[in-house]
Structure 1
Amino acid sequence: MDGLRDLTNYWEIDVSVGANQFLGDLGGNKGIGRDGLKDYMFDVNRILAGASCTYNINNYSAVNLGINFAMITGADSLINNTGDMERWRYWRNLSFKSNVIEATGTYTWYPIMHLYHNRMELFRFNPYISAGLGVMHFNPKANLDGHWYALQPLRLEGEGFQEYPDRKPYARTVLFIPINVGVKYYFNNRFGLSAGWMIRKTFTDYMDDISTTYIDPTLFDKYFTPEKAAVAKQLYARSRKPEKVRPDILKADNTDKDSYTTFYLRLSIRLDKKLYIYYPKL
């Protein structure tokens, strides 16, 4: 026995720190770009920090509400161009960064403790899996001459233009499904530390502001002021081979949604149960 008390009906407060990796159309490794960890690049890891509260239903299940602040980025220029299929992304030469604020609600299951659910004390090491629902807000930006421009208002793929009726302005606040796997270690009856991996199933392809094809850049003059049109023209295409950029030429793969993944550490502090004092009636 490890001397750790039953967790049933206890609350915990949690603080998290992690490393984010954007998984979308920009950047990546050799070959055709794919979703998932195939295009994981350490150079574009960015930080996540968060706080949450956890209610332990019993020793093998819990619910959690949390909020995280994260940063993500992607850059075609970081690709190691070997002349394979990654060369098209390297030549495209697009980049972005975004701050992300996300709120999540998840259910966590500890399978080993469930297997030994009659045990009244915890194991010190407990693997877990959790899933739930989240909402995120993102705002992709790109650098031009030292100034960072928000990309969504520039409609770089013709979103909302009459010439592209199927392309609506994309939402920057969207739902996603968070999935966590990890292991939690209890130092004692007060403190625990989790090491985990969060993946996100999103429903947007515009976290990096690209999804479909190039458009005719003269359309920016039709819809924007001269100043805004000039910025849009410079940011919509930044190719190393500008002769290959033409209207309706494929810019990105719109069959895969964007996402980002996080490897994190989470410190949990167990709170004492409220003490109820009985006062006899006089």
Structure 2
Amino acid sequence: MPKYLTAVLFVLLSISAKAQTWEIGGEVGAAGYIGDLNVNNPVKPSGGQAGFFIKRNFDRYIALKLNYTYGQISGDDAKSNSQQFRDRNLNFTTPLKELSLMAEFNFMSYIPDAGKNLYTPYIYAGAGLTAFAPRTIYNGDVVGLRPLRTEGQAAEYAKNAIVIPFGAGIKYNFSGKWTVAADLGYRYTNTDYLDDVSGSYANKNQFGSKNVARALSDRSGEVTGVYIGAQGVQRGDYRPRDFYMFVGFTVSYTFVTDKCYF
């Protein structure tokens, strides 16, 4: 867990002020990703997501939210509209465990059960850390891809990625101190391995007796009988970073007091 995020939040929340209120809530929705197996559709869902958050509202417009989300993304060349991707025949599923700290800004004055506006658009941005573990199905078994170094890496890529969340949404005070919101957010990451694909095919001889690693480095022949993954041939899209997306609905409760926001 990114301890620095918790430390920053603790310092901020330790500041006592009448204009601060707590808010807690949960979210469910869909997850998607933009990377080597989905290069051009930024709103394509490929899995689900759910999470919870605790928020500190500093005034009618500004809040700080600590958020935990579990999601899953996936990709499958066999289902692509591109013949080139279908020939490559790679696939993956990656669970994501994200802890993030985000600042939120309401465009309109908003106080559940106490303000004149029942709704407001909002935007948010922040920083976080995501644990990820790409895997695939091979011969009926779930296989973790990171330890296999399928592109001939000298070392395993990191288990965690730094992420920059940003997005927008709209919230609505539907009953008393209860708020429902819908938002769409993206996460810029510092890794290109959410899908275990990045650069070029490796020299298969370097895998030695690691038969599973060799087989999963180039899966094209599983379909065509012809393997296209010669050493140095492009395997990924050569873009340096992957993105992922969370879209969903949240329900939250705000602990509003008589002295809040004044």
| Same fold, judged at TM 0.5 (above) | yes
Corresponding residue to 1:201 among 188, 211, 215: 188
User: What's the TM-score, normalizing by structure 2?
Assistant: 0.84
| CA deviation string 1:141-183 (max 9, x = no partner) | 01101111111100111111xxxxxxx5311201110012000
The structure-2 alpha-carbon separation of the partners of 1:175 and 1:211, relative to structure 1 and needing over 3 Å to count, comes to same
Q: Could you tell me how far apart the structure 1 residues matched to 2:19 and 2:181 are? A: 19
Corresponding residue to 2:171 among 184, 204, 207: 184
Kindly state the Cα deviation for residue 262 of structure 1 after the two structures are TM-superposed. 1.5
Structure number with larger C-alpha Rg: 1
Q: Could you tell me how far apart the structure 2 residues matched to 1:246 and 1:11 are? A: 57
| CA deviation string 1:73-121 (max 9, x = no partner) | 11111112xxxxx32112101000011100010000012229xx9xx82
SS of 2:197's equivalent?
coil
Identical aligned pairs, as a percentage? 28
1:36-185 equivalences in 2 (<5 Å): 37=42, 40-42=43-45, 44=46, 46-80=47-81, 86-113=82-109, 121-160=115-154, 168-185=155-172
Please say which of residues 102-111 and 7-16 is displaced more in the overlay: 7-16
Moved over 4 A (4+): 272-275
Q: Determine if contact 2:218/2:228 at 8 Å carries over to the other structure.
A: no
Q: Could you tell me how far apart the structure 2 residues matched to 1:59 and 1:67 are? A: 24
SS of 1:244's equivalent?
coil
Q: Could you tell me how far apart the structure 1 residues matched to 2:240 and 2:25 are? A: 33
SS of 1:143's equivalent?
strand
C-alpha RMSD of matched pairs (Å): 2.2
Q: Determine if contact 1:137/1:172 at 8 Å carries over to the other structure.
A: yes
Kindly state the Cα deviation for residue 138 of structure 1 after the two structures are TM-superposed. 0.2
Q: Determine if contact 2:109/2:115 at 8 Å carries over to the other structure.
A: no
Q: Does 1:236 align with 2:223?
A: no
Return 5+ residue gaps in structure 2 as ranges. Answer: 1-17
SS of 2:87's equivalent?
helix
| CA deviation string 1:251-274 (max 9, x = no partner) | 011224112111110101112559
Q: Could you tell me how far apart the structure 2 residues matched to 1:91 and 1:230 are? A: 21
Corresponding residue to 1:215 among 191, 202, 213: 202
Aligned residue number for residue 13 of structure 2:
none
Corresponding residue to 1:22 among 23, 33, 38: 33
Q: Determine if contact 1:159/1:169 at 8 Å carries over to the other structure.
A: yes
Q: Could you tell me how far apart the structure 2 residues matched to 1:230 and 1:176 are? A: 34
How many residues matched? 237
For 2:86, give the aligned amino acid.
Answer: Y
Aligned residue number for residue 11 of structure 2:
none
Q: Could you tell me how far apart the structure 1 residues matched to 2:181 and 2:33 are? A: 22
Q: Could you tell me how far apart the structure 2 residues matched to 1:122 and 1:266 are? A: 21
Q: Determine if contact 2:183/2:248 at 8 Å carries over to the other structure.
A: yes
Q: Determine if contact 1:59/1:122 at 8 Å carries over to the other structure.
A: no
Aligned residue number for residue 271 of structure 1:
255
For 1:68, give the aligned amino acid.
Answer: T
Q: Determine if contact 1:189/1:270 at 8 Å carries over to the other structure.
A: no
Return 5+ residue gaps in structure 1 as ranges. Answer: 1-6, 81-85, 161-167, 276-282
Aligned residue number for residue 242 of structure 2:
258
Q: Determine if contact 2:218/2:227 at 8 Å carries over to the other structure.
A: no
